[in-house]
Structure 1
Amino acid sequence: MNKKAKRRLVVVGGIVVIAMLVIVAIAGGGQAASSLSIGDVLGGGYEGKKVQVSGSVVAGSITAEGSSATFRIAPEDGDASQALTVTYDGALPATFGAGVVAVCTGTVTDGALDAAEMVTKCPSKYESAEGSLTVSGLLEQGDAMVGKDTRVCGYVRGEVASVDADHRFTIESQGAELKVRYDGGLDEGIFDGVAVVVTGSLGEDGVFTASEQPAIDEAVSE
């Protein structure tokens, strides 16, 4: 083998080694998250590691400031004693809220999960509007309906907001409008123009607070 061939072989070999090092570095940087239970994370040993954890969002645990939200998730079997604190810096989807199953991916920091990604699993709910009041019918009764459990139906008007907003959406029927609050997750099929049935009560401030997940009217569409 002449000198030129040897030199060419050395150069090619060096390129191959460099390419392998780059591939290993990329593979290490994009390491997949380990799928763990809440109990696993709380048990320790995962500090600084990338993990994926799912659990039910604990009612009353959600706080939001600017684009950052903090909440706790507990095992879906209802064992709230193993709640894990999650911080999430991003826009909260309308499907997020108390009782919703949140799948969170991020890094364990000081025993909590600093989530970079989050998806929610909220069961769809359909219900008939039969026997419910229209918005106009509810408001016409005025103070007599404040604090009373009832069902009201109408069409969603405008945007649907996340759980950290003053109210989630507005419904309209028979020319009257009503703001609706709800601290749980909403079905992804609820958006502008969709007919819904909401169970809850009217507050003194004129806002209707839903006591359960608002349902899509199974018999009506616009």
Structure 2
Amino acid sequence: MNAKMKKRMIAVSGVIVIVLILVLAFVGGNTAATTLSVAEAAENPQAGQKVQVSGNVVQDSFSTTDNVLTFKIYDPEGDPATQLEVRYDGAASSTFGNDVTAICTGKINEAGVLECSNLVTKCPSKYEDGADALMVSQLLGYGDDVIGKVVKVSGTVKAGTLSAAGQGDRFVIVDTADGSELPVAFDDALSEDVADGTAVVLTGALTEDGKFAATDVALEG
């Protein structure tokens, strides 16, 4: 074998080695996550391994700092005192809120915090008849007389206003008759069926600053 042929074989071997390294890196990075319960993740975190943990968001446990969302989850069918802290460096969907089911995939660090790389939130759809609900214009027409009083109000979700809990107004509803708008504060779970233009029925009260503090959000049906 001449020197030219040897150099060619060495070059080809080098390319093959690089390809194998890239393939292994790709396969390793896409290894299926191990499914753990909240209790299993809390007791045996398997630090550094890719895991998927599902649980409900603990009431008012979430906060966002420098675009990083932190919150805690618990198992609704287990011990509510057993909780797992989650850190998510990404934009949470508008469905995120108190007691929503959060499916968190990532790796648990040495401090026992799940560094979440993929977050999916789910909340079952809920419907309510809007026949006895006030329109936005009717509610606003009562002025100060209705502030703090529990009422039902219906409207459609204004496009582009939906956001996750803890980021200010959750969304704005619009009166389809005259275009009146009402910002809504709501930190609990929101159905994934709530989207731009969705007709909703809200239960709650008008606040002094002109917002509607909702205690319940349902699809009109």
TM-score by length of 1: 0.84
The whole-number CA distance in structure 2 between the counterparts of 1:22 and 1:66 is 33
The whole-number CA distance in structure 2 between the counterparts of 1:56 and 1:78 is 11
- C-alpha distance 25-208 of structure 1, shift in aligned 2 (>3 A): closer
Moved more, 122-131 or 186-195: 186-195
1:113-139 CA distances to partner (integer Å, 9 max, x unpaired)? 010110011111121101111112212
Kept in 2: contact 1:44–1:111 (CA 8 A): no
- C-alpha distance 205-41 of structure 1, shift in aligned 2 (>3 A): same
Counterpart residue number, 2:140: 139
Kept in 2: contact 1:94–1:185 (CA 8 A): no
- C-alpha distance 132-22 of structure 1, shift in aligned 2 (>3 A): closer
Kept in 2: contact 1:135–1:152 (CA 8 A): yes
CA RMSD of aligned residues (A): 2.4
Find out whether 1:68 has 2:80 as its counterpart: no
Kept in 2: contact 1:134–1:153 (CA 8 A): yes
SS at match of 1:81: coil
Aligned length: 211
Shift in Å at residue 169 of structure 1? Answer: 1.2
Counterpart residue number, 2:188: 184
* 1:137-216 map, 5 Å: 137-159=138-160, 160-173=162-175, 174-175=177-178, 176-212=180-216, 214-216=217-219
Find out whether 1:217 has 2:220 as its counterpart: yes
1:86-108 CA distances to partner (integer Å, 9 max, x unpaired)? 01000110111111100000110
The whole-number CA distance in structure 2 between the counterparts of 1:78 and 1:167 is 32
AA partner of residue 180 (structure 1): V
The whole-number CA distance in structure 1 between the counterparts of 2:36 and 2:117 is 16
The whole-number CA distance in structure 2 between the counterparts of 1:112 and 1:21 is 30
TM-score by length of 2: 0.85
1:129-150 CA distances to partner (integer Å, 9 max, x unpaired)? 0111111221222222222211
For structure 2, the residue ranges without an aligned partner over 5 or more in a row are none
Find out whether 1:120 has 2:124 as its counterpart: no
Shift in Å at residue 23 of structure 1? Answer: 4.5
Calculate percent identity across the aligned residue pairs: 39
The whole-number CA distance in structure 1 between the counterparts of 2:194 and 2:92 is 16
Counterpart residue number, 2:131: 130
Kept in 2: contact 1:35–1:51 (CA 8 A): yes
Shift in Å at residue 47 of structure 1? Answer: 1.5
Counterpart residue number, 1:86: 86
